Structure 1
Amino acid sequence: MTGTGARSETATLVYVYAVSSAEAARWVAEVRPKGLERGSVRAALEGGLAAIVSDVPAEDYDQSALDERVRDGGWLTPRATAHQEVNAAAHAALDAVLPVPFGTIYVSEDRVREMLRARTEELRAKLASVRGQGEWVVGLHRDVVRAAEHLSTVSDAMAHREHVATGPGRRYLEERSSETARRTELRGLDDAAAASAHEMLARVSRHSFEEPVVQDAGDLVARTTYLVRREDQHRLADAVQRFNGDWATRGYELRATGPWPPYRSSGAGS
């Protein structure tokens, strides 16, 4: 989160959602979107670029107030949602959008234009790099029982034992003498599934970003953001379907959401 300038003495501050080309001004005029605090969204134009902005009350959004309020989930959630909705609508309507992080605030529109002037070449290059593209977030999920059944089948085959049809995954989980060994084998299968998924999806994407996964994330094994051209979205869907067909019996499934504005790819807030 960034705040350019200290505490403002004016009644309002200027909240920035994204940067785009000057065509954003036409979109704003036609659609008249609403932003945070139901404020009217407008375009601040400079040098062929447009910052998509709205006014917000200084008493709630100057740096000290914002630092305090973002700790309150009840306050933050609807405003983060409004931020995302503006950017999602802009991304759907415009050829290229650089979304900026929640809480990017300037003391005046003149300061916003100064930023656009200072970063014109950089922002134009970034717009070119994401033009006609969106981000897809793809999660790799594991059914631990089905994965264990697969490992049990492989283990039995390697030991030349007959595979027991009644719940081998359960038997594998219950009878495995070493919990460490079980975790190691499952982790190895996780890694193989993640590598296979990435190999398929990387072929249809321009860039990828591996996302952090907390230790106790339930059935989520891995999560990756892929930057995909709009004309390649069907290829992404096909790759997800192929992976799921190949890995379902081993207990793995890909779930994709998108397209999202290119938050990870744009770097506009830096």
Structure 2
Amino acid sequence: MTGLRYVYAVCRPFGAALQSQLTGLGGDPPRLLTHHGLIAVVSHVPERDFAEAPLRAHLEDLEWLTATARTHQLVIDALTAVTTPLPLRLGTVFRDDSGVRTMMEAREDDFHRILDRVQGRVEWGVKVYAESEKHEQEPARPAQPASGRDYLRLRRQQTRATEDSWQKAESFATRIHDMLSAHAEDSRLHAPQNATLSGAPGRNVLNAAYLVPRTASEEFVELVDRMKDDTPGMRVELTGPWAAYSFTQLSDSEEERP
């Protein structure tokens, strides 16, 4: 079959079969390309979409990008169910099988090092949102303060109330992160999500990822569940298990194409 080679992930050989109905990009079922004890999971994709120029244009097309990312993630999820994959960056494409093998050989030591670290482990994501009631965020105030001094005093009271609310939220988030980190092998703090972009209600005060052995995942999930009702006005969201995205990233120089 002709076409370029799209690479989803690199992993070690595994015995279980991928889902028989799994379809990758370009409608091509993912296949396994072996080289020096590593496996690249690839699909044949058409040049009209994935050659350098059209791919660059497509990456500016939100609809195309969303559909492509969804299919990419479905393949990663299928791999995560049967092995420990090292996901590659969306849009990792090579001319042919030889190009993929050249890449694998150039990065072989890095791939083995990272796979050694995450083998048998998954990533869990935890987000904490402060959901203060409106009256707590905006204390009631007279429609018309008696004087400028009364107005300034009221504003100071509102500022202190808001600061106290966020300090409590930050303290809660720190406590959760410390507890979860103690039950994980590693953790990563990501930038809080912008509420306008994410559409999630409340203020995101914790956005973290945790590397957890599969065998300890049930205990980790139970720990998060116990924390969900710990503090009124706070919302805890758990996602996963995922491939260990936050713990398998190659540096920019390592991800350059050969």
Q: 1:177 aligns with which of 155, 159, 169?
A: 155
Paired with 1:116 and 1:215, the residues of 2 have a C-alpha distance of 37
Task: State the Cα distance separating 1:171 from its structure 2 match.
Answer: 9.3
Indicate conservation of the 8 Å contact 2:137/2:161, yes or no: no
The answer to whether structure 1 residue 55 and structure 2 residue 37 are counterparts is no
Task: State the Cα distance separating 1:135 from its structure 2 match.
Answer: 0.8
Aligned to 1:260: 242
Task: State the Cα distance separating 1:128 from its structure 2 match.
Answer: 1.3
Indicate conservation of the 8 Å contact 2:181/2:187, yes or no: yes
Indicate conservation of the 8 Å contact 1:126/1:266, yes or no: yes
Kindly report the root-mean-square deviation, in angstroms, between the aligned alpha carbons of the 2 structures. Answer: 2.3
Task: State the Cα distance separating 1:49 from its structure 2 match.
Answer: 0.3
Q: 1:27 aligns with which of 4, 17, 23?
A: 17
Aligned to 2:124: 136
Q: Residue type matched to 1:74 in 2?
A: E
Paired with 2:137 and 2:88, the residues of 1 have a C-alpha distance of 50
Indicate conservation of the 8 Å contact 1:11/1:58, yes or no: no
Indicate conservation of the 8 Å contact 2:186/2:210, yes or no: yes
Aligned to 1:153: none
Query: Compared with structure 1, are the counterparts of its residues 171 and 213 closer, same or farther at alpha carbon in structure 2 (3 Å cutoff)?
Result: closer
Paired with 1:182 and 1:11, the residues of 2 have a C-alpha distance of 65
Paired with 2:31 and 2:92, the residues of 1 have a C-alpha distance of 15
Query: Compared with structure 1, are the counterparts of its residues 223 and 114 closer, same or farther at alpha carbon in structure 2 (3 Å cutoff)?
Result: same
Paired with 2:47 and 2:137, the residues of 1 have a C-alpha distance of 62
Tell me whether 233-242 or 195-204 shows the greater mean CA deviation. Answer: 233-242
Task: State the Cα distance separating 1:103 from its structure 2 match.
Answer: 0.5
- Aligned sequence identity (%): 27
Paired with 1:188 and 1:246, the residues of 2 have a C-alpha distance of 16
Indicate conservation of the 8 Å contact 1:11/1:59, yes or no: no
Task: State the Cα distance separating 1:258 from its structure 2 match.
Answer: 0.4
Paired with 2:169 and 2:188, the residues of 1 have a C-alpha distance of 18
**Structure 1: where are the runs of 5+ without partners?**
1-9, 149-168
Under a length normalisation based on structure 2, what TM-score does the superposition of the two structures give?
0.83
Query: Compared with structure 1, are the counterparts of its residues 101 and 177 closer, same or farther at alpha carbon in structure 2 (3 Å cutoff)?
Result: same
Q: 1:14 aligns with which of 5, 23, 45?
A: 5
Indicate conservation of the 8 Å contact 1:17/1:86, yes or no: yes
Aligned to 1:237: 221
SS of the counterpart of 2:192? coil
Give per-residue Cα distances to partners, 1:15-37, cap 9 Å, x unaligned: 0000011227x635x73631012
Give per-residue Cα distances to partners, 1:76-133, cap 9 Å, x unaligned: 1111100000000001111x21011211111111011111112222211211111111
Q: Residue type matched to 1:27 in 2?
A: A
Query: Compared with structure 1, are the counterparts of its residues 121 and 243 closer, same or farther at alpha carbon in structure 2 (3 Å cutoff)?
Result: same
**Structure 2: where are the runs of 5+ without partners?**
142-153
SS of the counterpart of 2:183? coil
Give per-residue Cα distances to partners, 1:203-255, cap 9 Å, x unaligned: 111111112224445313221111111111122122212322321x3x11211
Runs of 4+ in structure 1 displaced over 4 angstroms?
Answer: 169-172
Length, aligned pairs only: 234
Paired with 1:134 and 1:171, the residues of 2 have a C-alpha distance of 38
Q: Residue type matched to 2:4 in 1?
A: L
Paired with 1:44 and 1:263, the residues of 2 have a C-alpha distance of 21
Aligned to 1:84: 73
Aligned to 1:114: 102
Under a length normalisation based on structure 1, what TM-score does the superposition of the two structures give?
0.79
Aligned to 1:212: 191
Q: Residue type matched to 1:201 in 2?
A: L
Aligned to 2:62: 73
Paired with 2:162 and 2:137, the residues of 1 have a C-alpha distance of 15
Paired with 2:20 and 2:114, the residues of 1 have a C-alpha distance of 25
Paired with 1:173 and 1:231, the residues of 2 have a C-alpha distance of 48
Higher helix content, 1 or 2: 1
Aligned to 1:123: 111
